[in-house]
């Protein structure tokens, strides 16, 4: 069983919570369901410094509405971490 080390999809800009996130999640769930040896998806939430707690809570609520129970809240990468990650991709 091969484990992918790269994410299937990622966004460089914030998703529009009301319109975009639900459709993006639905598309990713459909893609993942067709892949062999997969169970579900893990969503990585990286709030920007400008994000409010309300935005993070709304994002988690949207994930729960889409029946996604696995998510991680992380911090945005520093410039050094970004360079390191770019060098391994």
| Spatial separation of the C-alpha atoms in residues 61 and 67, rounded to whole Å | 10
12 or 87, which is more confident: 87
Structure pTM?
0.63
The pLDDT tens digits for 26-76 are 888 888 888 888 877 888 888 877 788 998 999 999 999 989 999 999 887
- Local structure of 43: helix, strand or coil: strand
Q: How much is the pLDDT for 63?
A: 92
> What are the Cα distances from residue 81, in Å, to 17, 23, 48, 64, 86?
27, 30, 16, 30, 8
């Amino acid at each position: 069983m091969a484990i992918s080390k790269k994410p299937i999809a990622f966004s460089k800009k914030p998703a529009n919570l009301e319109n975009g996130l639900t459709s993006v999640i639905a598309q990713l769930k459909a893609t993942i369901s067709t892949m062999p040896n997969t169970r579900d998806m893990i969503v990585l939430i990286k709030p920007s410094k400008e994000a409010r707690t309300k935005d993070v809570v709304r994002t988690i609520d949207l994930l729960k509405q889409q029946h996604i129970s696995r998510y991680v809240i992380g911090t945005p990468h520093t410039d050094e971490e970004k360079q390191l990650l770019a060098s391994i991709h």
